[in-house]
Amino acid sequence: MRARVAEFTFELPDAPKGYVVYQGHPVDTIDPALEPLGERFPAALEMRAAPGEYEATQLVICAATDLPQVFVSATDLVGYDSTIPREEIALQLVRRVLQRKLYHMSRAPQNYDVTSRFLFPMRNFWLPEGNLKEIYVLVHVPADAAPGEYTCTLRISAEGHEPTEIPLTVEVLPIELVQPREKRYGMYYRIASVVDDPAQLHAEFADMAAHGCTMVKGHAAIKFAQQEDGTITWDFDDIRAMLDAGREHGFFGEITVYDNLPRLAALMGYEGLDEEGVGEPVSQQEDLLNVARRCFAELKQLEAEYEEFEFLLTHMDEVFGRGRMPAYLDYAEVIRRTSDFRIYITMHMTPGRWEDYMEQSDPWIDVRCINGHSLESWLQAGHDWQQLARMLDEAGDDGWIYHNMRGAFFAPEWNRFINGYFMWLSPLEVHVPWMYYSFGGSPFDDTDAEQYDFGYAFPSPEDPTQLLSTLHWEAFREGYDDMRYITTLERTIERAREAGVDVTDAEAWLAQVASMMPQLPEDIQGIDLESPYSVAAARSFSGADWDALRAQTADHIIHLQEQMGG
């Protein structure tokens, strides 16, 4: 079942070299039954990027005969008077694999689709006749790179066959991209699994930072313990490790902390409320409140040591409709009675009973992190971003989202859209999906364990400080960069207006971009699939289309800068 994931079934054109090369795009899905739409043996590849940015292109090699030894290499990127060294070009092999259609499905054969997913470092590879291999080309433009054009040569070598050389030109733009602070990105992350390995911990934080993350939902908890004499103690070791790693890698803003109140209650002998609300409320136990009050006071002191962060407390996941509401509210009351920390909740907005749950819980919520798939169902039911903004404003809550990769249907392109134009148009402030990695068996084989393999990047089995990426993770960064270009243009418009420069064209461009996105709710009404808003965007735009939108945004930034004199 796993041996045929890279076979193509379309008729390959004549291939005197033994293979055909097509130009591809990292977010465009490969259909092995259809010849790729990209140019055959492209005469040249082009990309544009700002200093400090990562930008990618992709090639697809289709074998007309067995190719026992194939290798792809690159030269330095050479400009007019400077060079971007070859080390800044990552050539990677895309691994196509079987992935469950939905995370809770069994490992029955019919529950899998083939997806292009993992990125492995370049090495010699065997490409059998009738099989394809995608080559991911990732260029990192150094932060100090001078604007201008840089060119290198990509060389495809197949033993016994004529090589192919393709020029790659990178235009380094005269743009300093800003880091959005009102729109932020993060990852669900289990810090406890790596807290005793500082090298791996910092490698993973560095990787998240390089992909646009400035926070984690870190599963870093207050650790309560009971001594032999019955005294309750606590420590913040995992929390401090999370904060230190975040500080080192430029994280800032709200960051979640597990208050661990259910653990505290259990240690003190309190069972709390059951799903019917029956039992003895822990929020009415003075001894527990006294412990929580002293603990939270010390936690507040820790927060003061890290001025770049605000702690959000959380103790229970997805409480709507899962029999958890009474207990959630009880523990939330403990927080309200013993501290001034704001409270974070994850929630679903699938039309129906969520409104009743929201009415019960709203006084105990400060930050709503909404399941992305359920939010798109809510939008499809006749709502729009303006209604969500009013709802959040009336409640005095911040709006976040976690748009989880739940199965093979979740295409990499969705991540680009969600992190970019989806977040830009919405009133949401943070996207923090599940999860950086969580897997059973090998993370690169979804067929070898009952547990579904979630993940954006995974530790290399040879060296866990080396993270192996995925197309989803790279598209996550592309969406973040789309947001950076939009935010940079918005701020450039503000500065240009203050300088007396005409900003009409730039403002009209942003309005045009907004109008090109699926309009809510009407444009997603007829889509009978999960996440219809993301589906509609993916149907309307190709990878080249997303790139073209960014390129025009960049042109408006450059034009305004020139009008302002530099």
Domains of the chain (ranges; CATH) run 19-172 (2.60.40.10), 184-344+404-471 (no CATH), 490-563 (no CATH)
Section 313-318 average pLDDT: 93
pLDDT, mean over the chain: 96
Q: How far apart are CA 321 and CA 355, in angstroms?
A: 11
Section 123-136 average pLDDT: 97
Residue 107 DSSP code: S
Q: Which residues contact 498 (CB under 8 A, 6 or more apart)?
A: none
Looking at residue 558, its pLDDT comes to 98
pLDDT in tens, 235-262: 999 999 999 999 999 999 999 999 999 9
Residue 353 DSSP code: T
Over pLDDT 90: what percentage of the chain? 96
Long-range contacts of residues 523-530, Cβ cutoff 8 Å, at least 24 apart:
524/376, 524/379, 524/380, 525/380, 527/380, 529/409, 530/373, 530/376, 530/377, 530/406, 530/409
Looking at residue 159, its pLDDT comes to 94
pLDDT interval class at 390 (50, 70, 90): very high
Section 196-215 average pLDDT: 97
- Per-residue burial over 211-220, b if 16 or more Cβ lie within 10 Å, else e, is bbbbbbbbbb
pLDDT in tens, 505-563: 999 999 999 999 999 999 999 999 999 999 999 999 999 999 999 999 999 999 999 99
Orientation angle between helical segments 286-305 and 237-248, nearest 10 degrees: 20
Pairing relation of β-strands 148-158 and 164-172?
Answer: antiparallel
Looking at residue 1, its pLDDT comes to 42
Section 42-60 average pLDDT: 98
Q: How far apart are CA 187 and CA 182, in angstroms?
A: 17
Q: Which residues contact 353 (CB under 8 A, 6 or more apart)?
A: 320, 321
Sign for the CA dihedral angle at 451, 109, 434, 325 comes to negative
**pLDDT score of 19 more than 80:** yes
> 401, 262, 391, 384: which is closest to 332 by C-alpha?
262
Q: How far apart are CA 127 and CA 566, in angstroms?
A: 50
- Whether this model's pTM surpasses 0.95: yes
Phi, psi for 14 (deg, rounded to 5)? -50, 140
Token output for 390: 């009013």
Looking at residue 2, its pLDDT comes to 62
pLDDT interval class at 59 (50, 70, 90): very high
pLDDT in tens, 136-177: 999 999 999 999 999 999 999 999 999 999 999 999 999 999
- Per the CB < 8 A criterion, the answer to whether 554 and 48 are in contact is yes
Identity of the amino acid at 404: N
CA 297 to chain centre: 34
**pLDDT score of 87 more than 90:** yes
Looking at residue 321, its pLDDT comes to 82
**pLDDT score of 566 more than 80:** no
Over pLDDT 70: what percentage of the chain? 99
Section 464-482 average pLDDT: 98
Burial zone of 87 (CB within 10 Å; 0-12 exposed, 13-18 middle, 19+ buried):
exposed
